A and B are shown apart, each in its own frame.
Chain A
Amino acid sequence: MSKIKPSKGAPYARILGVGGYRPTRVVPNEVILETIDSSDEWIRSRSGIETRHWASDEETVAAMSVEASGKAIADAGISAEQIGGVIVSTVSHFKQTPAVATEIADKLGTNKAAAFDISAGCAGFGYGLTLAKGMIVEGSAEYVLVIGVERLSDLTDLEDRATAFLFGDGAGAVVVGPSQEPMIGPTVWGSEGDKSETIKQTVPWTDYRSGEVAKFPAITQEGQAVFRWAVFEMAKVAQQALDAAGISANDLDVFIPHQANERIIDSMVKTLKLPQHVTVARDVRTTGNTSAASIPLAMERLLATGEAKSGDTALLIGFGAGLVFAATVVTLP
């Protein structure tokens, strides 16, 4: 048997830069109320959402990703040619082949970087981050771009009063690169396929194409079941991620949960008994739920407003359709 030379990676990985893109059009609750029987007060009290962004025809999944990635690359202080991998998490890119990651890698000016899409719903950013870290430590890439991007307005049933107000569009990206110190903790992740009906697309595309259903597919969810799982089961996962990283709640500076709903965030903070000093991301108020994009978008905003700073220790947790989840502790770029 011939001896195969092993690959050589970095000792550890870290997030080096973050960037976000929010579509130009800001949509207040009043617009949502044109198609559902509800009220601004009801929407705010059930979700915390005041406004969200909806993409125009020009603000495609690729275009938003390129904008967010450009900022992340600049923030990381590297050049696009140094990027060896582009991972895109999305559930709302309507052209399955080829992967949108290849177009993004090309438009950014990478040097034929490995590029692929993943589908892990609202946990997609954490899944991508975990893959990126593995690629860097294993040595198949020095720098990896992880992008969460969604145009959920395309998958929103504007007549469903339980979800019409919930979703938004946008892209968030981070550059992950080599580190001499561990700055991305162990990921606690997994799936619970037995709960696949809890959050789902109403019907497969093929049913729509065949005319079996007249209404374009949309995302639907069982609100109470999702709330219970998100708050009480995910609080356990968040705690496991803290334990795995050897970080106590007191050591934590920032909590960036998936921006699903502010009520979930409030309840998680309470269940986790996070100390007062921990800054909690509440980007959902003005960005809505942007699935895979929500964590990097919230991270970017906290750093931009100065609510969080470079070097802070942050707990990230994504959870959603699958059901899937991923939590990890990181040092902010």
Chain B
Amino acid sequence: MAATQEEIVEGLAEIVNEIAGIPVEDVQLDKSFTDDLDVDSLSMVEVVVAAEERFDVKIPDEDVKNLKTVGDATDYILKHQG
């Protein structure tokens, strides 16, 4: 069953927490991965791969750079999830 927006944000928060050590409550839709959450470009790849597995979605390299905020990633997953 497809995940809801709320479930995706919750999942991303857990992933970002595990990879970058950011408190889950800080991961909000308007937060920028690099500027607000201290997720650098390489950690972002780890976040993306973990999100792909969790939400059964493919996020190609060329799309990763467009995912600036948690909201961008959430929208992308909502639209592309299997």
Contacts and interface: CB of A to CB of B under 8 A. Distances in A.
A227 B40 contact: no
Nearest to B62: A225
A221 to B, nearest CB: 12
Interface in B60-74: 61, 64-65
A24 interface: no
Contact of B41 (A224, A232, A267): A224
B49 A224 contact: no
B46 interface: yes
Contacts of B42: 46, 223-224, 227, 263, 267
Nearest to A263: B42
B51 interface: no
Given A232-B49, A267-B46, A224 B40 contact: no
Contact of B45 (A45, A46, A227): A227
A107 interface: no
B40 A46 contact: yes
A46 B40 CA distance: 8
Interface residues of B, number: 11
Contacts of A30: none
Nearest to A224: B45
- Chain B interface, >50% SS class: helix
Contacts of B44: 224
A263 B44 CA distance: 12
A222 B61 contact: yes
B33 to A, nearest CB: 12
Nearest to B65: A224
Interface centre among B40, B46, B48, B64 (most CB of A within 10 A): B46
B29 to A, nearest CB: 23
A277 interface: no
B46 A224 contact: no
B49 A223 contact: no
Interface of A: 45-46, 222-225, 227-228, 231-232, 263, 267
Top 8 nearest A-B pairs (CB, nearest first) are A225-B61, A228-B45, A227-B45, A263-B42, A227-B42, A224-B45, A232-B49, A224-B41
Given A224-B65, A225-B61, A228-B45, 17 more contacts: A46-B40, A224-B41, A224-B44, A224-B45, A224-B61, A224-B64, A227-B42, A227-B45, A228-B48, A228-B49, A228-B61, A231-B45, A231-B46, A231-B49, A232-B49, A263-B42, A267-B46
26 contacts: A45-B40, A46-B40, A46-B41, A46-B42, A222-B61, A223-B41, A224-B41, A224-B42, A224-B45, A224-B61, A224-B64, A224-B65, A225-B61, A227-B42, A227-B45, A228-B45, A228-B48, A228-B49, A228-B61, A231-B45, A231-B46, A231-B49, A232-B49, A263-B42, A267-B42, A267-B46
